[in-house]
Every structure is written in C-alpha cells, then in structure tokens.
Chain A
Amino acid sequence: MRAAVLGLLGLVGLAGACGDNIPAFEPWILDSVDPADGLWIRTPEFDVPAGQEIQDCYFFTIPADQPDGMLWVDHLQLALNPGSHHMNLFRVGELRALKPADGAPIDLGGAQGTLIQGGECWKSGNWANWALVANTQQSLPGEPILDWGLPAGVATRFTAGETLMLQIHYVNASTQETPFRGRGGVNLLRSRDGDTMELGTLFATQQNIRICRSNPRPTYQGSCALPSGSHTVAAVNGHFHSRGRKFSVYAWDGVSSTRPPDTELFYQNTDWEEPLMKLGMSLPLPQGGGVWWTCDYQWQEPAGGCAAVDERDPLHAGDCCYTFGPIVETSEHCNVFLYYWPKTADVNCF
C-alpha cells in the first residue's frame, strides 16, 4: 500500500517555490510496509523558520511480534524533504538526559512513538554510547530517497522491543536553506533470503577542533580501530559543516601513526552540503586495522559576524574560531559514518 500524501503538501511546496527560482516541490513517496515485511516510520511535516535550525529526536520500538524475536533488515530506504542537514538512526542505549519517556506521544505511521524537539536532542553526549544504525545526508529535491540494499548475505539485526531513535536536523539560515517544510521517513525492509552476516557500524569523530581566522586551513586527523577479525566495508560517508573542504577516509593498518598512502584512500568528499554516500562497497580492511580519516577546513567569515562564533569558543580567544558543535551556522563537525560486515561490535571512536 502506498502511504497517503496530503495534497496540501504539494500546494505548500508550490507556494514556497513561487518567485524563488526553486523547482516546484515534488513530495517524496515511500511505500508503507506491511508488518510482515518490516517497519515504516514517517515524521509529520514541520516548519523550519527562517534563521533557525531544528533538531528533533523521534523514538519508536521494534514491534514485539518478530519471528524468533528478531527483525533482520537487508534493505533500507531513508527519505528527506529538501533542506535537511542530516538524519541519523541509532539504537537507544544507556539513557542520560535524552529519554524516550520524556517525549510527547506522536503517530509515526508504522509505529507509535515519542518526540523530543530541540533541547536534549541537541546534546551529543546524550547518545554518546548509542550504536549507529543508518544515516543519510541526502535531501536534494530530485533525489530525496536513499535506497540502500545491503550486500548479499548481510543484514541489520534488531531485537523485538528494541528502541530506536531517529534524529533529524534541518537548517534554514545562511549556510543551508529549507525551501519548503521538513519531513523524514524510514523503511526497514525485512530480509527474506536467510541473511546470516550482521552489519556492523562505526562512528568516529574528532571533537576538539578549531578553525580560526589566524589558522584558516587546519587539518584534523584520527584513526579508529575495529576489533580483531576480518572486516569488509559496505558503505561510508563523512560529515562536516560549511567550513569543510575535503573529507577523506583511508584503510589503516592499526599501527601506523602517519597518514596511509593514497592507495589506501577509499572515500573522498568535497561537497559539505550533499556529501557523497558511498554504497555498494566491498572493501576488505587490514586485519587488526580500521580506518583513518582527515578533515580539511577553510575558515570563512561568518555571514552574521564573529560574535556568535566567538561566544561559543571555550577559550574565548577572540579569533573567530569555529569549534565542535551541532549548529551548522556557528560550529563544525568531523564525523565518519561507516558500515561493515561481519559485525564484531558496533564501534564509536571519540
């Protein structure tokens, strides 16, 4: 069955397009999913007022009636209206100040859930030890849906009753625009072919970053080791904000403290706004190794002046330094999202 799309959405989109030289808004459509075939989630549409950034956290659970108590998913569809900065799906782990029970009840189509708007949903320490499930940064008007089939034999495993969190960030300011309204959707499609290898995830981030007027082109680098075993990369994407000029990921031997040679480079992106999501990979990583990543930046004069940037600098250096943080307009990130098989553990490197 096809999810109903309100005609009103299209009208709103068209109205938003008038006079702006922006293509008419074509609402994306994802088929809803019968419970026998998986799970579907749709957020409501929401406004993203000019000059603002919105980050919301939607919580929902994997339905209890799963065969053998498990939902194996080998095909994901992630959809976003134009203007999204990111949409990340996590397994809810240890609860800190971001708690599903604190959210407002919300109908998510294929599940009932709760919603926390802003507030604790901005504070990354709250989900520091939650494992990544999937992510997308793709929200071009002509390409709103990331359609991701996992490699043969590989699936993401969920436990019946497990709680997930879908986080969506929209920006409608000087660095990014949301021309219509925000909205996200996820389809988790059940594996039917007996997949036995579990997909693992790796999230790695450089936190103490500074991109300053006096040092305008810094590079930050890090490495992230996987547990012992053989691992093959299935997909990868990098994430930074508008000062980011090049994001690179290399296969790494787990020992070297110098950047791997270019022959080991397997991901590079220079488009911070719509970063490449590299799918369909089958790249073995070195035994005992992992990945090495680099973030190259170019400092830029903030459109609104340096005051807001300086204010959030922990050192108060007065050097217009962008530092680690979620606000696209005034802060920066350097994050790797990587998917591999077979899973030995979900990995976060900080």
Chain B
Amino acid sequence: MARAALPLAVGVALLAVGCSDDSPTTSCPIGDRSQPIELAIVWSDGTNLADFVDGGAIPLRRPLQGGQAIMIGVRARNVDGCKVNLTTTLRDPDDGRSLGLDIRPVRLDPGADGWGHPSEPFFQSIGSTPACPNLVGDVDIFGNPWRVELRLDEDGGRSATVFATVRPFCDDVSPKAECECECAAGYQLGQACGEPDAGVDAGPDAASAIDAGVDA
C-alpha cells in the first residue's frame, strides 16, 4: 500500500547513507594483511564460545522461527575483522550434498592472542547453519558425522576456507525430545514432536509484539 511520507529530516539521513560506501564504516585490521588469512574453527552453545576439535560434538539449537541449527564460526588473523562475510555449509560426507548453508556478515574483534574472535557467541558473528528439519539425507542428523566447510571472505576478494567433521547432538536446551524428533530421518513437516501442552519461548518476536502494543 502507499508508503507514508517520511519526514524531510529522515529523507536527508537516508540520502546520506545511500551515498556512503556499501561496506561497514570502519576498518579493523587484525594481524598482517599482507599474509594469507588464517582460520581456526570455533563453536557456540548459544552462550559461550570455544575452539572446535575436529570430529567433536556440537549442540543443535532452535532459532527463533523454528528448526534446529548448529552455531559455528571462525577466529582469524591477517584479516580485516570488520569487513568479512562468513559462509558455513553442513555437508553429507559421502556425496558432498549441502544440508544447510548460511552466509552472513560477521565481526571479529582483536584478542590479546593476535587473533580476531567473534564479537559475541550467539547472533552477530557466528554462522547459524540450518540442520533440521532436513529432507536431503536418510539418516538422523544427530549422532552422525557431517562435514562442515567454513569460508571467510574479506571485502576485496581475499578468502580462506577450513573444514572439519562435526557430530551434532540434541540436549535439554532445544529441548531434547523435540530436537531428536525434528532431526530424525523421515521427519515430516507437521508431525507432532513436542509436549502436548508445551509453550514456546517467544523470544524477541513476543517482546516486540508486546512492546508494540499490537496484541492488545
């Protein structure tokens, strides 16, 4: 429907933004950018970040709208931590098919160890890689080994890629029964997975609705 007129001041602000560089407005070099980008894989449980050991277990987490995802990213050096995009891909190790893919701008903050680390463990600098439901494979997502591929692309064309094997698992956060149902081979959309009267964590969706007064 017809767009409401914006105040002139806002229009000026928009024009100013529209004429600026497409990239983030700051530059954050980490290490020696004349050297190749180096990567190491990190993972998150939604609260904490840790280095990932190849072949290790990683929890499945339920994003706001649904499904189950693994939260995995990189620390890096010799890179501009403010101008990078992270691609995370979950693959079938047998045939290379992609089960889930996520590409997003991330921010890496310099640490005392000389590496750039994800600026936070949940939302801004970690890949939210979709894992379930998944109709591509014919085995359970949880408890089985899958390949992850993580690529960091810096503005200007430099990039680096790292690989690992992950073993997703369901824990009580998801919660477990629901996660194992949604991530099981043969799961069909609409299939009952949760507790009969279980509510859901409404998250920011709910907060925004309430705050906006739209559900009154």
**A interface list, Cβ under 8 A from B:** 22, 52-55, 82-84, 91-97, 117-119, 121-126, 128-131, 139-141, 173-179, 205-210, 214-223, 225-228, 254-258, 273-274, 288, 292, 298-301, 303, 308, 311-312, 314-315, 317, 323-327, 329-331, 344-350
Contact = CB atoms under 8 A, between A and B. Distances in A.
A193 B10 CA distance: 55
Contacts of B134: 225
B57 to A, nearest CB: 21
B102 A348 contact: no
Contact of B66 (A52, A219, A223, A348): A348
A312 B66 CA distance: 19
Given A208-B128, A348-B133, A128 B65 contact: yes
Nearest to B25: A214
B175 to A, nearest CB: 12
Contact of B214 (A52, A91, A177, A303): A52
A52 to B, nearest CB: 6
Among A94, A96, A119, A125: residue with most chain B CB under 10 A: A125
Nearest to B5: A174
B162 interface: no
Given A94-B194, A227-B135, A177 B216 contact: no
Given A221-B103, A223-B101, A225-B135, A125 B214 contact: no
Interface residues of B, number: 78
Interface stretch (B34-42, B109-117, B166-174, B204-212): B204-212
A350 B207 CA distance: 21
Given A83-B1, A225-B136, A312-B207, A124 B89 contact: no
B10 A301 contact: yes
Contacts of B13: 300-301
Contacts of A82: 1-2
B116 to A, nearest CB: 16
Contacts of B122: 314-315
B96 to A, nearest CB: 6
A125 B65 contact: yes
Given A210-B124, A325-B205, 9 more contacts: A119-B215, A121-B215, A125-B62, A179-B1, A216-B20, A292-B101, A298-B18, A312-B207, A325-B64
B203 to A, nearest CB: 7
B1 A222 contact: no
Q: Which of A214, A222, A299 has the most CB atoms of chain B within a 10 A radius of its CB?
A: A222
A273 B1 contact: yes
Contacts of B214: 52-55, 118, 122, 327
A129 B181 CA distance: 12
A222 B103 contact: yes
Contacts of A206: 102, 104
A350 B6 contact: no
Contacts of A325: 64, 204-205, 208
Contacts of B25: 214-216
Contact of B190 (A91, A140, A177, A205): A91
Given A124-B205, A255-B96, A315-B123, A349 B130 contact: yes
25 contacts: A94-B191, A94-B194, A95-B196, A124-B205, A128-B65, A129-B182, A129-B190, A129-B193, A207-B63, A208-B63, A208-B123, A214-B25, A254-B98, A255-B96, A257-B98, A257-B101, A273-B1, A300-B10, A312-B208, A315-B123, A317-B124, A324-B64, A344-B135, A346-B190, A347-B189
Contact of B1 (A97, A131, A139, A214): A139
The residue in B101, B188, B203 that gathers the most chain A C-beta atoms within 10 A of its C-beta is: B101
B212 to A, nearest CB: 5
B93 interface: no
9 tightest Cβ-Cβ pairs between the two chains A and B: A128-B66, A93-B190, A350-B67, A118-B215, A221-B103, A122-B209, A215-B24, A223-B101, A227-B135
A178 B1 contact: yes
B98 A348 contact: no
Nearest to A323: B204
A305 to B, nearest CB: 10
Contact of B212 (A22, A119, A129, A327): A327
A176 B66 contact: no
Interface in B134-165: 134-136, 149, 151
